[in-house]
Structure 1
Amino acid sequence: MSIHSPLFVPKTFLNLSIIASFSIFSISAQAKNIDVLPSSQSFSGLMFTPNAQVIKTGDISLSYHQGVAHNNSIQSLDNWFFAAGLFSGLEAGGRIVTKTYDCNGYTDPECGIRDLSASAKYQLPFIYDYTGFNIAIGAQDIGGAANNFDTKYFVIDREFEALSLRTSVGYARSTLSNGIMDGTFAGIEWQPLSFMQLTTEYDAVEINANAKIFTPQGLLPWGAQLSMDYQLYTGHKHSEQDVWGVNVSMPLMGYNDNRQQNLNTNKQTQIKQLLKQNLAEHQAASLTNLINTLQNEGFINLNVGYRNNKMVIALENRRYNHNQMDGVGVALGIITSKAGENAFADLAQIAATDKSTQFNFTKKQNIELILLTNDIPMLTVTTETQCYRDFLADGNPCNQIIVNTLNAKNDFNNSKWLYHTLNDGFGRSQIILSPALNHRTATEYGFFDYSLALAANVYTPLWQGGAIDVRYMVPISNSDDFKQGGLWHNQAYESKIDRALIHQAVKLPQNIISQFSAGYMMGDYWGGVNETQWYSPQGNHMVGFEISKFVPSNDKDRHGHELDDKQSLIANYTYSLPEYHWQLGLQAGEYFQGDTGVRITSNHWLGDSQLSINYLTTKPKNSNTYEDFLGVSITIPLTPWRDMKPGYVQIRGTDQFTYSLQTRVGENHNQINTGLGATSNLQHSITRQYENRGRLSPAYFNANIQRLRNAYIKYVKVTQE
């Protein structure tokens, strides 16, 4: 039962005053940052009101709260909220408010509300630099059919660091119960201790206060922070639930992998010494030492030779599957730590046996790494060994690192190879294990309905660009509505082979790559797909298309439903700004279900995790009206940073697991999307298999150059500590 008696008000503020008097001496001498913590709504803030702060870029936050303003009271409803800092100044997230978890809202009047919505808050840039104030604008319950919590607001705040105090004031228009956030609001956040905040606010109608206890920054591993908040007071008389909640936040995996590491600390003394020892090995290492180290680390299709007085090494990475850049960083670290005068002299001696060519050994020891995928040259990195060793040692970027994709194939063909295809990749199968999840989230039928399976994908390279791709699904668990007799039973996973394809990729001139895939797909269809993509020299622009045709193996599915042919003809364009960790995708054409439409996607890279927001407008087959959807998804790698060493069988996790949510917008109903906007979505598409999930470009490498060094430092840690 919430406390709202007038007798409680002076007691509450007396308690706050005592704490303030006790703490003021400890905070007056030293300023401290005030933590940004979640409110009980869809934004960071106090209790019901926001401040002008946002979640730190690259962080994710998951909150659970009890107590939601709904139907003219503070009701006992569960409030789940997931949010992330997409880029500097912007936080965005999704929220589910529910009373029950497993009942049919159409037939059971006791089910109550079950609402899925999106939110965003943007802190305006440059304002603080000139005024000392922060200003943010935001909205919750964006779009959707039933806007139960629709709120739009702007807010100004200012921090008084010497007092560990933040004040905020703003204005909002809202449909929230009790008039909350419908008018002028204000608040005060006070952080007397490194693990506690006290807040009081005027929510446009009443005064509220709460306390927040949290772990200080740096206490937990992986940059994580836990927090809990509890209502101390509310002026809302119709309240059946005290507002309280818990939250966990942390950086997404890989987000800090491009930050320059400082090894000049006591904690890093051992790593610095190991790194120094490794880099000194070039003074005595031979060419044989270099080749053996690369082979032992698991690099395959290894070729060693020369071109234009450079040592040239071509290799393929199948071990560092979070990001191909890590494989390049480890390989370059190994090469430059071994390639000294002895290794170059060995190369010159072997080259001298061929009278038709000549390798001139000079004091300037240049190397070129050619990265292969399925034996296709995809990217080259050229550098000078001493410059690169200095970069590894101190982190100051080497200005002699040149990344190129346009000439990779020609550079490979024009090199003189003295060692050919060591650790041949032919027939080296990867067994890629991944969860497969078909789900319905926050519908009238349940909070979370799902069909969960284990996808075991056997991918076997054959020749250059050729591979066999077979996937077997092993069902693990189904919720009630995916079981026999349930609403979505026909979409539950079955124990069977659902995909058997043969792929053939070719690298064409001018950064064009095309892949043809044919065979059995989606459990019931035979056909083929062609993907073709062109990348600009720096990789900021990509233009491509997908064309496919699939016919059902039977006229009807196992439930007696008629099966239609599936085909697609889709054009796409991607604009990449890797310095801002952002990509804009545009897609248009005919999708798998025969619908025609357009999708706009904003992709935000937070390390190796990808947060995407997309808007789809599409016209179903045989319909004259368009249907509109707003979707959000998070994609993460589910495999160790350094996978099992590739042998003739390599077991690993997936480089990309995606969880998506979608809601209908612009309608007075929120019926589930039944497959509109679908594409072939191959696991081994060009983007995933050959383009490092759209990141294999000079622009991406140049914007994330510290990642090369950090990958080698991490390799030294895991192999030699």
Structure 2
Amino acid sequence: MRFILSGLILSFFSFNTISVFATTNSMAQTGFTGLLRIPHADALPFGDFSINYQWEDNIDYETPYARGAHKTILMGVGLLPGLEFTVQNTHKQISDGPGWSGTHSSDLSFSAKYDFKPFLPENWFSLAVGVQDYGGAASHHKNAYLVASKSLFPATYYHFRITAGYGQGDVGNQMGADYLQGAFMGVEWQPLPWLQFMAEHDGTGMNGGLKLFSDDNWLPYGWKANLTYQLYSDSLTANRDNQWVGVGLTLPIVIGESATRYSPQGIDEFASVEQEHKKHVSDKADTNTFKEAKTVATLPSAERLSDSTLSDNEAKQVLKVLVDYGFENVRVGWSGDELVVALENNLFNWNELDGIGVALGLIVSNSDAEFFQLQLLNNQILVTNIKGNSEQYRTFLAQSEEQRLLEHGLIISSESSKDIDWASERQASSHFVPRFIFSPHLRSAMGTEFGVFDYSLALSSNIQMSLWKGGVVDVRHLLPIAHSDSYADGEYFAGGRHESEVDRILFHQAFALPASITTQFSGGQIYKNYIGLLNESRWQSPQGTHRIKTEIANFEHRDNDFSYQPLLASYRYYFRPLDVALEGTVGQYWSGDVGGSVSLKQWFGDMAVKLTYQNTTCDRSRSEYSCSRDGYADNHEYAGLNFSFPFGTRKNASPSIGLQVKTLEQWAYGYRSRINNHANYIGGNRSATTNLQYNIDQQYYNRDRLSATYIQSHGQRLRESYLKYIK
């Protein structure tokens, strides 16, 4: 200890005394960003993700998991500006074998904190409200609080942040009945960028300790590591007056050029240019606007045709370049003096904008046409149409980093030109090309009396093949790889363990209907034992801000007499400045329970974080539905958190050899917990949908991101993909 203190003192006096250090934030021991055991008033920054693990001393393995010292896994995310959402798992032991055990039982809880900083003058103080484990069925960390923080002497080494708050605790709280009950307070001192000292009173007693942080230059991509050490506690709660050590890593979810889209500056820019953008869209509807843009530069790397005549030779050149690159169903023609290209992107797996960006770059680099039109197809069905001025778009591609919001001049709609003189037949057909899609398939239980995390893992091998326009065959096989002890024969989760089997055999047929409606019929076998038919229909407003979707299905189980007849309708609203989607769903769900759900899906580049609230009720008199005899209560309420992201490489191999190996466009993992009930039994398939992997949003509309407003707000992705994969 003498050497550590000496090193700290030497480091302190070795720094230039005029340096200024901002207070660094990290997670407390339980449920939120804070000091040691109390929250402060600052939330995780928007788009940041934090993962932490903490060990407390003197764990008593003979007492129940909800009492005394424990270990903690904390995962927090800055879900919206000012809103922090945290998932916490407390346990004493990861596992000591299969079966129900107080030794390896664990508790899963959700917490939220909102920071009112944007609504307060900058030189005032920070103010936040928070709740922890509220509404949970078995609440061991329940509390609510109001907290304020204020930095003092921020331009000196005497930089302190004081925190004071008032909370409402709970008699069943694992930290003690007096934890955050009434007033609490704390103080932090950060004399160095990598060092914090802190002391606090959490309602049960005094705590003191320190935190160490990694230097900004040590880790890549803006990652920051921290170590927390609580050296002292006189908590009056039994077996909580312990030392504890925690390690954590905080990182931005989005990195690179796309990260500016989610920065405070980026949000402000997109909010402020919303009206300006609408004006541009209106102005550019007049093609004369394009003809005024003549003072632009061309890309040095662009191979331009020497003959600027609008000719079939030019169309054939563009056709060859696009086919050679790997696009499918390519067709080129003319609508007046506008070059028209229709194509399908099966190359870029994460986002259709990558394929659009590359295709547009190749078009304007290989054509002298003044105007262009790109028709993006999926299974030969038109899903979006993009028009622009070639010279203006070349300028957009050639802009410097300082010109991020230079207008690309694109007009995006779902309608195509009527009179097109096609100069070629469709090339590089996507029909009868088998596509092999590999991904992990995971079944799991988290935070149960059987352990912190139990799982069954399999390899999903999916073959999809287009037969004709909108028609696709879809077959999936699951191959078991590994499982935890509680999924072994004779154990509690044994019935959910993967088997080697073909669990999905489906035929899908999609149609584009008038008024921007797309519908898809799917028939066959799903989830090994269910045979039936499903229809999914979707309408999207011209700009994509609004979307309405319906799902109607009728399935029968091979081995029982239940009917599975979901009948659901949903509405989604997309808020462009924050890249967030709000959705509500009502109707009858998979098991026959009736009710609704609301969700908030926040996009961070190609990753989405979704919060969901579900509330359904089962009518026991409807014996034809499985919920009537599942043994659970009539009403079920759930809160859940879900992460979804593309699995595998951003760009797939070309299908030029007659087949294609791909990875999955979207892999999702999440968990939900029952709320507002005395027991936390998960009710089987309550609030469940058919949840087909091959659905309209994912297969045709870029995971519900293929719209004018989305493309406009991610215009830099078009440029970035062209520069990465072409130039």
User: Which residue matches 2:598?
Assistant: 600
Distance (whole Å) between structure 2 residues aligned to residue 98 and residue 27 of structure 1 = 44
How do residues 634-653 of structure 1 correspond to structure 2 at under 5 angstroms?
A: 634-647=643-656, 648-653=658-663
- Given the alignment, which residue of 354, 365, 375 partners 1:337? 365
User: Which residue matches 1:88?
Assistant: 81
How do residues 64-213 of structure 1 correspond to structure 2 at under 5 angstroms?
A: 64-67=53-56, 75-102=68-95, 108=101, 110-111=102-103, 114-159=106-151, 160-163=153-156, 164-175=159-170, 176=173, 177-178=175-176, 179-213=178-212
1:714 positional shift:
2.2
1:512 positional shift:
0.4
Distance (whole Å) between structure 2 residues aligned to residue 298 and residue 631 of structure 1 = 40
Distance (whole Å) between structure 1 residues aligned to residue 547 and residue 357 of structure 2 = 25
How do residues 412-561 of structure 1 correspond to structure 2 at under 5 angstroms?
A: 414-553=419-558, 556=559
1:142 positional shift:
2.5
Q: Does structure 2 retain, via aligned residues, the 8 Å contact 1:67–1:74?
A: no
User: Which residue matches 2:325?
Assistant: 297
User: Which residue matches 1:401?
Assistant: 409
Structure 2 CA distance for partners of 1:665 and 1:161, relative to 1, 3 Å: same
Unpaired runs of 5+ in structure 1? Answer: 1-7, 262-274, 345-364, 557-561
- Paired residue type of 1:111: T
Structure 2 CA distance for partners of 1:385 and 1:72, relative to 1, 3 Å: closer
1:125 positional shift:
4.4
Distance (whole Å) between structure 1 residues aligned to residue 17 and residue 165 of structure 2 = 28
Structure 2 CA distance for partners of 1:439 and 1:255, relative to 1, 3 Å: farther
Distance (whole Å) between structure 2 residues aligned to residue 260 and residue 297 of structure 1 = 29
Distance (whole Å) between structure 2 residues aligned to residue 169 and residue 456 of structure 1 = 55
Q: Secondary structure at the match of 2:138?
A: coil
Unpaired runs of 5+ in structure 2? Answer: 263-296, 308-313, 621-627
User: Which residue matches 1:376?
Assistant: 381
Distance (whole Å) between structure 1 residues aligned to residue 681 and residue 343 of structure 2 = 50
User: Which residue matches 1:321?
Assistant: 349
1:478 positional shift:
1.9
Q: Does structure 1 retain, via aligned residues, the 8 Å contact 2:414–2:542?
A: yes
Q: Does structure 2 retain, via aligned residues, the 8 Å contact 1:435–1:454?
A: yes
Q: Secondary structure at the match of 1:334?
A: helix
1:304 positional shift:
1.0
1:103 positional shift:
5.8
Matched, 1:26 2:36: no
How do residues 636-675 of structure 1 correspond to structure 2 at under 5 angstroms?
A: 636-647=645-656, 648-675=658-685
- Paired residue type of 1:39: A
Matched, 1:581 2:586: no
- Paired residue type of 1:145: A
1:19 positional shift:
5.0
- Paired residue type of 2:78: G
Q: Does structure 2 retain, via aligned residues, the 8 Å contact 1:382–1:400?
A: no
Question: TM-score, normalised to structure 2's length?
Answer: 0.85
Distance (whole Å) between structure 2 residues aligned to residue 277 and residue 705 of structure 1 = 18
- Given the alignment, which residue of 710, 714, 717 partners 2:724? 714
Q: Does structure 2 retain, via aligned residues, the 8 Å contact 1:75–1:240?
A: no
Matched, 1:630 2:639: yes
Structure 2 CA distance for partners of 1:191 and 1:649, relative to 1, 3 Å: farther
* Greater Cα shift, 684-693 or 125-134: 125-134
Structure 2 CA distance for partners of 1:681 and 1:305, relative to 1, 3 Å: same
Distance (whole Å) between structure 2 residues aligned to residue 481 and residue 456 of structure 1 = 25
User: Which residue matches 1:612?
Assistant: 610
- Paired residue type of 1:339: S
* Greater Cα shift, 464-473 or 123-132: 123-132
User: Which residue matches 1:366?
Assistant: 371
Structure 2 CA distance for partners of 1:45 and 1:509, relative to 1, 3 Å: same
Show CA shifts across 1:573-615 (max 9, x none): 1111132121111111111111111111111111111111111
* Greater Cα shift, 249-258 or 458-467: 249-258
Q: Does structure 1 retain, via aligned residues, the 8 Å contact 2:396–2:408?
A: no
Distance (whole Å) between structure 2 residues aligned to residue 72 and residue 306 of structure 1 = 71
Q: Secondary structure at the match of 1:498?
A: strand
Distance (whole Å) between structure 1 residues aligned to residue 185 and residue 719 of structure 2 = 47
Distance (whole Å) between structure 2 residues aligned to residue 460 and residue 113 of structure 1 = 45
Aligned residues: 659
- Paired residue type of 2:397: L
1:120 positional shift:
0.7
Distance (whole Å) between structure 1 residues aligned to residue 121 and residue 394 of structure 2 = 39
- Paired residue type of 1:196: L
Structure 2 CA distance for partners of 1:239 and 1:710, relative to 1, 3 Å: same
Q: Does structure 1 retain, via aligned residues, the 8 Å contact 2:460–2:478?
A: yes
- Report % sequence identity: 30
1:680 positional shift:
1.2
Show CA shifts across 1:651-683 (max 9, x none): 121111111111111111111221111111111
User: Which residue matches 1:232?
Assistant: 231
Question: TM-score, normalised to structure 1's length?
Answer: 0.85
Q: Does structure 2 retain, via aligned residues, the 8 Å contact 1:403–1:701?
A: no
Structure 2 CA distance for partners of 1:642 and 1:150, relative to 1, 3 Å: same
User: Which residue matches 2:280?
Assistant: none
1:432 positional shift:
1.0
- Paired residue type of 2:720: N
* Greater Cα shift, 580-589 or 110-119: 110-119
Q: Does structure 1 retain, via aligned residues, the 8 Å contact 2:315–2:332?
A: no
Distance (whole Å) between structure 2 residues aligned to residue 171 and residue 654 of structure 1 = 47
User: Which residue matches 1:570?
Assistant: 568
Distance (whole Å) between structure 2 residues aligned to residue 590 and residue 73 of structure 1 = 37
User: Which residue matches 1:249?
Assistant: 250
- Paired residue type of 1:692: N
User: Which residue matches 1:259?
Assistant: 260
User: Which residue matches 1:312?
Assistant: 340
Distance (whole Å) between structure 2 residues aligned to residue 123 and residue 404 of structure 1 = 37
Structure 2 CA distance for partners of 1:638 and 1:334, relative to 1, 3 Å: same
Show CA shifts across 1:454-486 (max 9, x none): 111111111111111111111111222222212
User: Which residue matches 2:692?
Assistant: 682
Distance (whole Å) between structure 1 residues aligned to residue 579 and residue 424 of structure 2 = 38
- Given the alignment, which residue of 708, 718, 721 partners 1:698? 708
1:256 positional shift:
5.1
Structure 2 CA distance for partners of 1:447 and 1:156, relative to 1, 3 Å: same
* Greater Cα shift, 646-655 or 519-528: 646-655
User: Which residue matches 1:268?
Assistant: none
Distance (whole Å) between structure 2 residues aligned to residue 432 and residue 253 of structure 1 = 25
Structure 2 CA distance for partners of 1:515 and 1:378, relative to 1, 3 Å: same
- Paired residue type of 1:282: R
Structure 2 CA distance for partners of 1:609 and 1:115, relative to 1, 3 Å: same
* Greater Cα shift, 374-383 or 386-395: 386-395
Distance (whole Å) between structure 2 residues aligned to residue 593 and residue 130 of structure 1 = 52
1:501 positional shift:
0.7
